Amino acid sequence: MRKLTFVLLAVLCLSARADEGMWVIGNLSEKTDSILRTLGLELTPEELYSTETPSLNDAIVQFGGFCSGVVVSNDGLVFTNHHCGFGSIQDYSTPKHDYLKNGFFAKSFADELPNEELYVLFHIKTVDVTDLILGAVPAGATEVQTDSIVDAMSSQLTKMVDYSGKGIQSEVNPFYKGSKYFLSVYQRYDDVRLVYAPPQCLGKYGGDTDNWMWPRQTCDFSVFRIYADKNNDPAEYSKENVPYHPRKYAHVSTQGYRDGSYAMTLGYPGGTDRYLSSYGIESTMRTTNDVRYQVRGVKLDILNEAMRQSDALRIMYASKYASCSNYWKFSLGQNTALDNLKVIDEKQQLERQLAAWALEDTVARGRYIGVLDSLKVIYQEEYNALYGYNLWVESFYGGSDIVSFVLTNMMGVLRDNEDDFQKNVAKAYRDIDVDTDKKVFLAMLKNYIEHVPNEQFLPQQICHEVDSLFNGDYERFVDYLYETSAFSHPELLQQAHSITELSGDPMINVGIDMISVLFSTIWGTPHREDSYERILCDGIREMNHDHEFYPDANFTMRLSYGLCKPIDFAPGTTGLKEEATQMITSPRSFLNKHEQNPDNLDFELIPSVYKWMKRGKFSKQYIDSRTGKLPLCFLTTNDITGGNSGSGMFDGKGRLIGLAFDGNWEAMSGDLKFDNALQRCIGVDIRWVLSVIDDYSGAKRLIKELTIE
Ligand code: ARG
């Protein structure tokens, strides 16, 4: 009976327990480690991470500087998401060989496609260097002094590591808003080739309509391979390179999971701000999300129209469209969830608690007294600058590609780090259609002027020119600009070696005007919230000193643990469809969406995929024994954010059961506040991945490389 009570209690605790946290894999406390074990992890700490012997850590990569991936074969095969490989798939797509639309499969090693800009990083180790770094900061140093000492110390440390060669590189990152510093060491491989991509109607099924939402039926994966020189060391692309042999690769499990099974992700969550003050959250909602949603909405309409004109334009803008729309929808989702879940109220409650706690001991806790009042005032004072800055970034830096190209290269000159101008031109103009770009710029300029929060942030020269030379007509101004500038005639750019040779070009004048606006917005306003946010973060940790706090995500390698679990929808959120309450989706719901949305391109299927799914003949080994169906996507309680895309999802034995690719709409406030009841990680089941590779494409050579259990 006692045993039963204990088991019952344990189960109750489990179901109420939060799986919040992105833990530093080389730095797990005993407490965290024992939670992992209670939940069902069977690997020893050394099997998870070790600097001595091969461990699961060695099978995880940071993919291309923006995603995660997992090595799944002894020949360096990497699984990541389709949306992570998207740029590479697009680069090789043409209307004639439309790999986006039809997918791609390299039939032999020789057919695998190199990618100049792609690389992967293997995590070697992480060391706490807080004492070294902060020890060098004298007491009483100002914020600016502290920053410069931290920078200097960090760069000294990384230089010592980086000189050891063989692709070894390192980085010092602040944790807990700069209260701690860790040094992470990586090995970088630069020859990464595209091996397989499913057709977009599988890899991006549901498109923007379904993005950030559950239920999902997206087979969001693509396959790459790492190449090395004949000594297995990193090397630039060369025909002589050979497949890389990893220290460790992940085994794949077709045995699945059930409600309550252990699940963990290993990967590179990009950024969260979970300790942000209520004032910071309010500011993010109004000066970042609202602005981004509004401006990108305008831009996306124009791109959308262009992409419908021809296959060439559709392919050319595919990747830019996807990344723009991803955070366009995110901004709406984050604000909606912050409101629905009353996150600001909750934060304010915590802050009141902190204020009262600080007053209990005005000597020891003096640092925290008044910090909230300061934050309130600072965010008020900076409102226009933050709003103006984000409006500037979204409209100009992230608006027209030509303007963005000009600004980036001008900034390079200002910062004295110009790189190869001709290379930049070739890269940028591969995916620019001048007519479309002109429409974007006109719309962005007009929209900026309409929304600018104060006169000071207007591009004075442009406004003056439009008034005096074009009678206030922005369209005529932009026509003239695109007619006369070398930047809208790429053939004219081919002679220049540096952007400075083009000074006097009307587009450069536009750039100068915009950069001076930038100096008057955020750069002209003291930017003070960070140091107060750090004090607040310290206060919250000190007040709850018996609670173990994980550091915010910062694109370093992390482990998130949890369980496979459906969502219990809370009232006031986006509601509940029948299938939404289930943990796994099936081919039936895939076809349902297609059939019920005949006019929505996001659910359009190419005939071969439609036939294959409709026929429903999937290999037996991929069918879930519990449901009797092919499992498509599934839910776990793992903490997740952008950058985690492509993270391996593992069972308790450390076997790959899926690839993480998204979060859910109900809890999109998650980057700022984890919601224990609602937040989920959406993954593509590895059996859906294998069935597409095997049953749909017949790509046996890839299946043979894997170790399937
Ligand atoms: N929301 C996902 C993420 O940020 C990306 C999903 C890509 N799909 C899409 N329809 N854009 O990782």
Of 85-99, 365-379, 536-550, 611-625, give the lowest mean pLDDT range: 536-550
Mean pLDDT of 197-207: 98
Mean pLDDT across the stretch 165-174?
93
Annotated catalytic residue, options 19, 82, 83, 325: 83
373 catalytic residue (yes or no):
no
Q: What is the percent of the chain where pLDDT is above 90?
A: 84
Amino acid letter, residue 325: S
Q: What average pLDDT does the segment 172-194 reach?
A: 95
Segment 8-20 shows an average pLDDT of: 44
Residues within 6 Å of ligand 1 by CB: 83, 204, 207-208, 211-212, 322, 326, 642, 645, 661-662
Q: What is the pLDDT of residues 442-483, one digit of tens each?
A: 999 999 999 999 898 999 999 999 999 999 999 999 999 999
Mean pLDDT of the chain: 93
User: What's the pLDDT score for residue 320?
Assistant: 97
Q: Which of 19, 98, 208, 220 is catalytic?
A: 220
Q: What atom of ligand 1 comes closest to residue 663's alpha carbon?
A: 1
Rounded distance, CA 250 to CA 58, Å? 9
What is the distance in A from the centroid of ligand 1 to the CA of 91? 19
How far is it, in rounded angstroms, from Cα 444 to Cα 437? 10
* 83 CA from centroid of ligand 1 (Å): 7
> Model's pTM, two decimal places?
0.94
Which residue has the least CA distance to atom 7 on ligand 1? 83
Could you confirm whether 220 is annotated as catalytic? yes
Strands 222-228 and 191-197: antiparallel
pLDDT band of residue 531 (cuts 50, 70, 90) is: confident
Least confident of 66-70, 179-183, 579-583: 579-583
Q: What is the Å distance from ligand 1's center to 393 Cα?
A: 21
For residue 16, the model assigns a pLDDT of 36
- Maximum distance among all Cα pairs of the chain, rounded to whole angstroms: 89
Kind and range of the H or E run holding 127: strand 120-128
CA atoms within 13 A on the CB side of 647: 34
Q: Are 238 and 636 in contact (CB under 8 A)?
A: no
Q: Is the pLDDT of residue 4 over 80?
A: no
Domain extent listing, the chain: 57-246, 278-522
- Measured CA to CA in angstroms, residue 651 lies from 17, 18, 61, 398 at distances of 19, 18, 18, 40
- Tokens 């002109």 map to which residue? 438
Q: 105-164, pLDDT tens digit by residue?
A: 999 999 999 999 999 999 999 999 999 999 999 998 887 888 899 999 999 999 888 777
Taking the centre of ligand 1 as the mean of its atom positions, its distance from the CA of residue 212, in whole angstroms, is 7
b/e map 614-627, b = 16+ CB within 10 Å: eeeebeeebbbeee
Show Cβ contacts of residue 309 under 8 Å, excluding neighbours closer than 6 positions.
none
338-360: average pLDDT: 97
Q: Of 662, 664, 684, which is best to mutate to test ligand 1, by the most ligand atoms within 8 angstroms of its C-beta?
A: 662
The token duo for 701 is 């050579």
Q: Which atom of ligand 1 is nearest to the CA of 323?
A: 11
The residue written with tokens 């498109």 in the block is: 207
Q: What is the distance in A from the centroid of ligand 1 to the CA of 330?
A: 9
Q: Is the pLDDT of residue 9 over 90?
A: no
Alpha-carbon distance of 438 to 147, in angstroms, equals: 41
Does pLDDT of 354 surpass 90? yes
Mean pLDDT is lowest, of 66-75, 540-549, 590-599, for 540-549
Q: What is the number of the ligand 1 atom nearest to the C-alpha of 210?
A: 10
Let me know if 527 is a catalytic residue.
no
**Whole-angstrom Cα distance, residue 64 to residue 270?**
13
Distance between CA atoms of residues 147 and 152, nearest Å: 9
Atom of ligand 1 nearest to the CA of 207: 10
